[in-house]
Amino acid sequence: MPSDTSGQHVINLTNSLIGQAINGQVSWGTNAMPGNSNPAWFQGPTNEIGYLGPGLQAFVGDMGAVSVRDAILYYSSLFNRMCRKRIVIYYNNNGALQPILDQTAIGNFVNGVGQAASIGTDPQPGQDIYLANIQNHIQEMYNRWWALAGAPTTEILTNTVCHTSCHSNCHDNRGRR
């Protein structure tokens, strides 16, 4: 088996080709929410896709084609919730709703794009896989994710606040939401 398909090499390659590219696209998360948005909309921080750690330790060592595929698919499941959504926050001015925020961006949401990033061809048990094949599969996975996550969105998340300033601080201090 070619030495460039070791588990650690596949992990490092996937991190560099996908993790950094996706992190650079994510604007919203639990650490960076638009003002007055609902925290329940977000799953994790904007830099969620980081080094592949404990989940892929089973793949460290020499890998066959099926193990490489499984490792890449596992990684794809980590970023499928990163997608583009529109958030509109309204201010309720005596029954008249006035938008105070209307933005669209990619965020780390609870409900993402689903299993968008999958590999088109299934390697067979015992089949050797080479670095070029691995890179092609990783790029294909990223392209499928971007086709869904980066596409214009029709999903709109909305929230209405009773006043525009200090909304969360005021309600949190009074023990109500």
Which tens digits make up the pLDDT trace of 69-100? Answer: 676 777 777 777 888 999 999 999 888 999 99
Per cent of the chain over pLDDT 90 is: 22
What integer best gives the mean pLDDT of the chain?
A: 74
* 43-64 average pLDDT score: 63
**Beta partners for residue 101, in sequence order:** 89
* 128-146 average pLDDT score: 75
> Given this model, what pLDDT does residue 102 score?
95
Give the total number of structural domains in the chain: 1
- Residue 107 sits at φ, ψ, to 5 deg, of -140, 170
> Given this model, what pLDDT does residue 151 score?
81
pLDDT reading at 57 higher than 80: no
The more confidently predicted of residues 16 and 43 is: 43
> Given this model, what pLDDT does residue 2 score?
45
User: What domain range is 145 assigned to?
Assistant: 3-173
Angle between helices 65-79 and 7-14 (to 10 degrees): 30
pLDDT class for 146, splitting at 50, 70, 90? Answer: confident
Choose among 81, 59, 79: nearest CA to 68.
Answer: 59
